[in-house]
A = this chain, B = another copy of it.
């Protein structure tokens, strides 16, 4: 009986996720679900991406957080529309939250929409929300054993971004071993080595976004 109820909730979420994706496709908006642990640099990467692409690509951001509007404030300061969703304690964004965010945006004026999820490597991976692509950041200081500990997250994303590469001189992170582990779980995944601070790898990342945008049209 309990399982039945859970299944119903999941499929209600999935139905809304499908509606979200239809709405995005109809408006030619590429939406990217950005996930990571707390403090892996999601907001910094989005801000840098805005800086690099803003002359060619119309962007917007939906910020999901337990509380606070710190991140949305930064995005708006960068000149891009941002919607803040406070999840009210929930550890993830569900399809309904994304749907509410989409209603508040002018989708015909957007090419690329980032959904910055709650900082968490567990719960966000369990919910389809309707974005066409999903990516995760793993910051170098978090360590190279994370694919073994959070396999679901690594297996469901289209790209893994190793962030804070500038910490490499102080770190014992084994990049080759990490990438091998990730490919073992998710053979088709794209992996980027990125530092917002030094600029390393940012062009590879924005190039990948460009390819995804072209794929949508």
Contacts and interface: CB of A to CB of B under 8 A. Distances in A.
Contacts of A119: 37, 121, 149-150
B38 A121 contact: yes
Given A37-B37, A38-B37, A68-B148, A123 B123 contact: yes
A38 B70 contact: no
A96 to B, nearest CB: 16
A69 to B, nearest CB: 10
A101 interface: no
Given A39-B37, A91-B120, A170-B170, A70 B146 contact: no
A99 B149 CA distance: 23
A143 interface: yes
Interface in A188-214: none
Contacts of A145: 70
B70 A122 contact: no
Interface residues of A, number: 34
Contacts of A143: 39
A142 interface: yes
Given A39-B146, A121-B120, A164 B141 contact: yes
Interface string A121-146: 11100100000000000011111011
Given A67-B151, A149-B65, A39 B118 contact: no
Nearest to A118: B122
Interface string A157-200: 00000001011001000000000000000000000000000000
A117 to B, nearest CB: 12
Contact of A166 (B39, B139, B148, B170): B170
A152 interface: yes
Interface of A: 37-40, 65-68, 70, 89, 91, 118-123, 126, 139-143, 145-146, 148-152, 164, 166-167, 170
